[in-house]
A and B are shown apart, each in its own frame.
Chain A
């Protein structure tokens, strides 16, 4: 049975919320930006008045001000954005219980079962759009399609305050000319690979034989071929669905650039500790360690390695991360931010395959030291015990990666 899926995207969400609550800013170029002091000074969202000047998400504040000298820069107020996001969800839940959020400002809705009650998917989309304007004072773009991927292309197609229906009759006409990067999961690396073989639009991708894509891109080739043809059958999760946690990670943009391996070592130990703490809280161990590195030009990459035995020892995670780093970074540029992630989580109590060669006794000891540190920090605070190596740099040592939470990016493939 064909489904009816809506993808709803709040236009310039952070900026729109700020404009709603401060009417005097509505006709001025506006950008919500991260904290300049802590070096998160980039544009998070710009409004539609600032965008024509060339102000883009991810740009440094000084660059944005160069493009648009009258730009008004506001700090983010996540509490208010979360409140708006919750109110938006209340609207969605008047129509369906299948609501799947994608970040704070986007959601998929499966309204297949609601058509009898509320009218056609287009009618539902119109009603939701009107309610957003009246109840929240912000606008949305809505894509209407029979699957999640195409619905998202629809909501991106026309902005702001628009509804785009993409179905079999107009699919080729609307989707085929779009640049291939518009498709979910075509990032810079995949885009480069596709463009190098002449695939620049979604249409080209759709018409390309699947086995060719699989040869070029691995299993993502098959997924992208499906996406490009509008054949995505992933369900919209229910409201009460709790995702299995597949990985825990933490990253930090450091107060100063990291310029040598000692700096990186400190950060990796700090981050590995926080990741290990969270894994122990979840009673799990990771089988894969992943690092992400972003240099001062904002070029970033990730590297991962599968471990022989699952672990939740911060030392082991940090040492693996450091080894990965040493093998993959050549210090062309200083580093701006760095992250560690433990993936492929397994339950800590599940049977583990012991290795013939690795030193399990030592690992056990390290895990006991970790848990002793957890207890101390729980009773006397995070700073009560630290690794000596961390103390070599007071600026970096001041970071508390356990409590200074970050909002984590979400993935499309639900667990």
Chain B
């Protein structure tokens, strides 16, 4: 089974273009960690198996690394690795 991760709802800066298409610009994991999204490589409906939840999955390129960002039911989230308590 896939490693279980934490589902963290995050604030995201989003730009809507004139057609109403939305594009996430920046993810804020916490005060100290804000990430610019350089490029969006793919968007598709997907289940987030590691942390739970279903929505549109954005494959984002951030500082040369790929990361998934989910949008579902009006909220954005990421799947974070679990830190040992």
Contacts and interface: CB of A to CB of B under 8 A. Distances in A.
Interface stretch (B16-24, B33-41, B42-50, B60-68): B42-50
Contacts of A84: 54
Contact of B47 (A26, A27, A134): A134
A405 interface: no
B14 interface: no
B85 to A, nearest CB: 14
A87 B54 contact: yes
Nearest to B5: A23
Contact of A135 (B47, B51, B73): B47
Contacts of B80: none
Given A23-B4, A83-B73, A135 B52 contact: no
Nearest to B52: A21
Interface residues of B, number: 15
A27 B2 CA distance: 12
Contact of A87 (B1, B45, B48, B51): B45
B45 A137 contact: no
Interface of A: 20-24, 26-27, 83-84, 87, 133-138
Nearest to A134: B46
A84 B72 CA distance: 11
Contacts of A23: 4-5, 49-52
A24 B54 contact: no
B46 A135 contact: yes
A87 B47 CA distance: 11
A20 B47 contact: yes
B44 to A, nearest CB: 8
B59 to A, nearest CB: 14
Contacts of B4: 23-24
8 contacts: A21-B53, A21-B54, A22-B52, A23-B49, A23-B50, A134-B46, A135-B44, A137-B48
B30 to A, nearest CB: 22
Contacts of A138: 47
B11 to A, nearest CB: 21
A247 to B, nearest CB: 34
A215 B36 CA distance: 75
A366 to B, nearest CB: 47
Contacts of B73: 83
Nearest to B51: A23
Given A21-B53, A135-B45, 9 more contacts: A20-B54, A22-B52, A23-B4, A23-B5, A26-B1, A27-B1, A135-B47, A136-B54, A137-B47
A21 B9 CA distance: 13
A23 B48 CA distance: 10
A137 B54 contact: yes
Nearest to A132: B47
B49 A135 contact: no
A21 B73 CA distance: 13
A133 B49 CA distance: 10
A138 B54 CA distance: 10
B72 to A, nearest CB: 9
